[in-house]
Amino acid sequence: MDYASLYQPTPLTIGTLLALVVLFTPLLNFGWLLFFRGKSSELIGWVASGFLLGTVLAAGIIFKTVWWGEPIHNRTIWFEIPTQVFAYPFTIGIHINRMAALMLVVVTLISWVVHVYSIHYMENDKGYARYFAFLGLFTFSMLGIVMMDNLLLIFIFWELVGVSSYALIGFWNHRPAAVRASTKAFLMNRVGDAGFIVGMLVLWSQFGTLDLQVLEDLMQQSVFTEEGVWLSYFRANNLLVENAAPVIWLTIAGVGLVLGAIGKSAQFPLQTWLPDAMEGPTPVSALLHAATMVAAGVYLLLRVFVLLNPATLTIIAIIGSTTAFMAAITALTQHDIKKVLAYSTISQLGYMMVGVGVGAHNAAFFHLVTHASFKAALFLSAGAIIHRMHHLEEGTPQEEGFDAQDMRWMGGLKTRMPVTFAVYLIAALALAGIPLFSGFLSKDAILTGAVAWAAFFGTEQAWWYWIIPGLAFASALLTALYMGRQILLVFFGKLQAKEDQAVSFAWRPSWVMRFPLVLLAVLSLGVVYSLNPLVSSESWLLQQIVHPLLAVPGETLNYATIMATYPEWHNLATWLALGVALSGIALAYLLYRPDSQGRQAYVARTSRRSFLVKMIEHNWYLDRLYQLIFIRPTLFVGRFLYGWDTRVIDGVLHSTALLGVIFAHVVAWLDRALIDGLVRGTARVTRGLGRLTRSVQTGRIQTYLVASLLLFVVLLYWLVWV
C-alpha cells in the first residue's frame, strides 16, 4: 500500500464549514463572556443560550446530512517529519460519520438545556458570567473530541476537557471541598492520560501516523508472524518500509488507550474522583455526567474499537462489569441525592464499557445516547429539589445537622413538586431498564451482546467468561433497587424537614427550569428510539450505526460469528433483564415504602451498619487504600527528601559557605597584618632613612667639609688601629 495515497487531502465542503461553526461557536461564547466577569445580568445567560441554540440547529443539519448521506471528512497535511527515507506527513482534519453526527446533537443539545436551566438556577451567583464562559469552553472541548480524526488532536481537546472540568468542579473556589474535588479530578485523570500517551507512542512507532483512518488501513495490512512478531509495512518513494515489534505491544497500545478512557470515564480503579465532583453546581454535574466529560472515555474506545485486539477487549469487559457492580451497590448505601446519581453514572458507564468489551459496539453507543437524556433529567431535577430544600431551610429553622441534599430529610415532595416528580419518575424508570423507556432498549442490547459473547468464549475451561454477564445482570437488579429507593425516600411519605406552609409553597421552579426537564423526559421515552419500544433490534440507531469489524490481523471472523448469534440469545437476555428490573423495584418497595420499619429506622438514623456496609458506603475504602499505598509513601518520600535537602544538602552548602567566609576573614587578616604590615614597614624605614639623609644635605660647604673631615678621621682610625 502506497503511503502517500493514504494522506490525500480532501476538499473543503459546506458540511465542513458548518461543522467548524458548531465547533467554534461555544469557544466564541467563552471569549466574549470573559469581558463580563463579575456581571450577573440574566441577559448574559440568554445570549449564551442563544448561541448554543444555533449550534444545536447546525448540528441537527449535519446529522440529517450525514445520517442519510456520506460522512464529512476533511483533511490536510499540517507539517512533515523528515527521515532518511521519506517525510512522515502529520495531518489535521475532522471526520464526522453517523456516530459522530449523532454525538454532536447529543453534546450540543445537553449543553443547551444546561445553559437554559442555569439562567435561573445560577441567577444570584457572583460568578454568573464566569460560569457560562467555562460552560462554553467545556462544550468546545468535547465537540473537538467528537470531530477530530487524529489521536493527537483528540488528546489536545481531551486535555482541554480536563482543564475546563477542573474550573467547573471547583467553580465555588471559596469552598475548600470544591477545591479539593477539582484537584482530585485533575490528578486522577492525569494518571489515565499517561496511559493514553503510551498508547499513542506505540501506534506512532509502528505506523508513523496517528490519523485514525490511516491507522485502520495500515492495521488491516499488518500481520502476525509465527515467531510472535507484529509486522507492519507500506510503500514510500518506491521503497518498502517495514516496522516490527513483539505482538505484546499491540496489547500494550490498547491497554494504554483503555487507561486513558478509564480515567476520563471514572472506571475502576480510577473512579474515586467522580463522586467528589458533586461539589460543583448541579447543572455542571448534569453536563459532566450526561454527555461530556465522563462519556468521552467511552467515546474514545468506540473511535479506536477497530484497533483493539481481543485481549484488550476482554480487559475492558472485566473492568466495565466490575465497575458497574461496585458502583451500583455503593449507590445503594448513599444518603446524598446527588451522590446516588454520581455512583449511578459510574455504574452505567461500566455498562457501556461492557458493551465495548464484548464487541457490542453499537449497543454501547446506544446506551451512551439514551443515558445522556435520562441522566441529565435526573441531575437537573435533583437541582430543583435541592433548590426547594434550601428555600425551606432559609424560611423555616431546621434541626441541627440538616442537609438539603440528604434524602433522609426529604419525603412527600410528589405533591409539592408534581412536574419534577413526573420527570424524575420517567428518567428513573429509564435508568432502571423498565420497558417503554429508552434505558430498557439500550440495556437490552448490551446484555444480549454480553450473553452471546460469554456463550461463544465461555467453554468449560473458560467458564469465567460468564461472570461478565452475571455482574451485568446483578448491576441491573441493584440499579432498579437504588432508584426505587430514591423515588420512595424523596417523593413519598412524610417530609422529614420542618415546614412552614407559607414558605414551602412560595417557591416553584420557573418555566425556564421546567422546560429542560420536560424536554429531557420526552427524550427518555423508548418510542423516540424505536417505534416498537419493546424490541431493541428495531431501533433506528442500531440499524443505522454499522458495527465495525476489528482491523487486527486474524480477529475479524470471531466477532462476526458472535454478532450472528445475537437473535438466538435476545429473548433470554430480555426476559432476564425485565425480571431483575422488576425484582429490584419490588424489593425497594418492600424495604422503603412509607410505612416500612426499614424506612423508619433509616430516616431516624437508628439502623445499625456493619463494617462491610460502611466500607461500601465509603466507595470500598479506595481513597483510604490509595492514601496508604500511594499518597502517604509519596508524602513520606517528599518529606524525607525535603529534610535531606534542608538538613544535609543545605547544611553542607551552608557549612561550605561559612568556611568560605571564615577563610576569607583569615586571608583578610593576613593581608592586613602581614602583607600590608611589610609594605607599610618598608615604607616607614625608607621614610626614616630619607629623613636622616635629608638632614645631611643642608647645602652649606662648611657642613660638608666638617662631615668629610670626620669621615676621614674615622677611616684613618680604622686603618691604623683596626
Instruction: With a cut of 70, say whether residue 695 has pLDDT above it.
Output: no
pLDDT band at residue 548 under the 50/70/90 scheme: confident
Q: What is the mean pLDDT of residues 452-470?
A: 85
| CA 232 to the chain's CA centroid | 33
Q: What is the pLDDT of residues 177-223, one digit of tens each?
A: 888 888 888 888 888 899 999 999 999 888 888 888 888 888 888 88
Long-range own/partner contacts, residues 331-335 (CB < 8 A, 24 or more apart): 331/478, 331/479, 331/482, 332/478, 332/481, 332/482, 332/485, 332/616, 333/613, 333/616, 333/617, 334/617, 335/406, 335/407, 335/408
Residue 40, pLDDT score: 62
Residue 96 — φ and ψ, nearest 5°? -120, 100
pLDDT band at residue 100 under the 50/70/90 scheme: very high
Contact 23, 140 (CB under 8 A): yes
Instruction: With a cut of 70, say whether residue 657 has pLDDT above it.
Output: yes
Contact 254, 312 (CB under 8 A): yes
Residue 91, pLDDT score: 82
> If residue 95 lies in a helix (H) or strand (E), which one and from where to where?
strand 87-96
Residue linked to cell 488491516: 220
pLDDT band at residue 299 under the 50/70/90 scheme: very high
Instruction: With a cut of 90, say whether residue 549 has pLDDT above it.
Output: no
Q: What is the pLDDT of residues 494-544, one digit of tens each?
A: 887 766 654 555 556 778 888 999 999 999 999 999 888 888 888 888 888
pLDDT band at residue 425 under the 50/70/90 scheme: very high
Long-range own/partner contacts, residues 238-241 (CB < 8 A, 24 or more apart): 239/85, 239/86, 241/3, 241/85, 241/86, 241/208
State the average pLDDT for the chain. Answer: 85
Q: What is the dihedral of CA 662, 667, 673, 677, to 10 degrees?
A: -160
Residue 588 — φ and ψ, nearest 5°? -60, -40
Three-class secondary structure of residue 244 per DSSP: strand
> Strand pairing partners for 150?
211
Q: What is the pLDDT of residues 112-165, one digit of tens each?
A: 999 898 888 888 778 888 888 889 999 999 999 999 989 999 999 999 998 988
Three-class secondary structure of residue 135 per DSSP: helix
Residue 286, pLDDT score: 81
d(CA 234, CA 2): 6
Residue 178, pLDDT score: 87
Contact 96, 72 (CB under 8 A): yes
Residue 107, pLDDT score: 92
Task: Break the chain into its structural domains and give their ranges.
Answer: 1-192+265-303, 309-617, 623-712
Three-class secondary structure of residue 72 per DSSP: strand
Q: What is the pLDDT of residues 553-576, one digit of tens each?
A: 866 656 777 777 888 888 888 899
Residue 470, pLDDT score: 93
Which has more confidence, 38 or 163? 163
Contact 580, 480 (CB under 8 A): yes
d(CA 542, CA 362): 6
Residue 416, pLDDT score: 83
Percent helix, strand, coil in the chain, to 5, is 75, 5, 20
Q: What is the mean pLDDT of residues 571-589?
A: 91
Contact 149, 95 (CB under 8 A): yes
Residue 78, pLDDT score: 81
Residue 459 — φ and ψ, nearest 5°? -75, 180
Alpha helices in 212-336 (DSSP H): 212-221, 248-264, 273-276, 282-290, 293-303, 310-331
Three cell numbers at 207? 505506523
Strands 87-96 and 72-82: antiparallel
Q: What is the mean pLDDT of residues 460-482?
A: 90
Lowest-confidence range among 19-23, 267-271, 598-602? Answer: 598-602
Helices (H) and strands (E) in the chain, counts: 30, 5
